[in-house]
Amino acid sequence: MHIPNRLLMGPGPSNVSHSVLDALSQPTIGHLDPAFQTLMEEVKDLMRAAFQTRNEMTFPISAPASLAMEAALVNLLEPGDKAIIAQNGVFGGRMAEIARRAGANVVLLSFDWGKPVCPDTVAETVEMHPDAKLLAFVHAETSTGVRSDAARLCRIAHKAGILSVVDTVTGLGGIPVAVDEWQADVVYSGTQKCLSVPPGLAPITFSARAIATIKARSTPVQSWFCDLNLVLGYWSGTGGRSYHHTAPVNAIYGLHKGLSELADEGLEASWTRHQAMHDRLAAGLADLGLEFLVDEPHRLPQLNTVVVPQGFDEAYVRQQLLQKHDIEIGAGLGDLAGKVWRIGLMGHTARPENVERLLTMLGHVLAEARQQAVA
């Protein structure tokens, strides 16, 4: 097995620190071992700090973030429920699809890709549908690099007495996420973005309102694995845990280390670092004559969507960066395929030396590509 040493500047995974890799390689122990249970409690505490919540039910789902999306929606929705779902990129569309498959009536609000979810439109829609059970949206749209105003959107839901589901897979650790202040109900993330832990786990948190809604269901959750009523017995309290599935023990070591490193750095310091790296990148990209897709106030510092200039072969540039310079950047997804590059500055990747290296190499590759186009 030969694994190349890449600089990961795409939409995730981001680079993982040596200390997290070391933590992953600690000896495996039993998932019901008291030592592991202590670790589980610490991970829950560290996760609460990252999400800025006191929610008791805060834990990592043993799967990539797609399953957290699924768990959030299938636990809250019963057949016939109404769900208002805002879509401004790929991932809002997936939320709608999951809700439909759970038997919900979906009111889909579509916004232009590259623009944030419009709170006024959401407020009008919520008012028009007083029977809706929840509002779901993506805080940090990885497909476009747009940040939506999660505080305002959750406030609209809360005021109307409906639940909010927030996807902050790309947000957590990179920009402020304040679950309790937002009065958000279910918020989930992934490990492989700004937490810089390998993919495969999904931090999630449920408010007391969300838990009460799930406990009051009249139909069983359609997914056995995602059924929170069953998962709770595994992740809650010390001592009396019941077997649900075998937790990915070593992956939890890695998450513990990644979250500890975030706590040591401090949330605000991490957000400031992501913003500073974005500013540096933006200045360098402007020098190269490149433009952003997203208007400045709505840009995610950790996910930069850059318009491919006319006449350039976007795939060629990505391939050259990867094959010649060991740098991964991302392609456009869905409607944006072939039109943009996505440059990630997430977690451990978001450091000055990495920004400089990318800008230098991108400059060389663009110059070569330009010469080829002229020839």
Q: Which residues of the chain form contacts with ligand PLP (CB under 6 A)? A: 11-12, 64-66, 69, 91, 138, 142, 167, 169-170, 190, 199
Distance CA 226, CA 68 (A): 8
CB closer to ligand PLP, 348 vs 365:
348
Nearer to ligand PLP, 165 or 365 (CB): 165
> Is 128 buried (19+), middle (13-18) or exposed (0-12) by CB count in 10 A?
exposed
Residue with tokens 């476009």: 144
Which residue number, 75 or 320, has a Cβ lying nearer to ligand PLP? 75
- In the complex, what is the shortest distance from the CB of residue 69 to ligand PLP, in angstroms, rounded to a whole number? 6
CA atoms of 89 and 111, how far apart (whole Å): 8
- For ligand PLP, give the closer residue by CB, 60 or 190: 190
Write down the least CB distance from residue 37 to ligand PLP, Å: 26
The whole-angstrom separation of Cα 84 and Cα 81 is 10
| Residue from 145, 134, 128, 154 nearest 51 by CA | 154
Within 10 A of 258 (CB to CB), how many other CB atoms are there? 30
Identify which of residues 231 and 369 has a Cβ nearer to ligand PLP in the complex. 231
Instruction: From 15, 50, 55, select the one nearest 268 (Cα to Cα).
Output: 50
Kindly state the tokens that stand for 70: 């699924």
Q: How far is the CB of 138 from ligand PLP (least distance, A)?
A: 5
Type of residue at 73: L
Q: Tokens for 357? A: 């290296």
Residue 73 beta carbon to ligand PLP: minimum distance, rounded to whole angstroms:
12
**Closest approach of Cβ 27 to ligand PLP, in Å?**
27
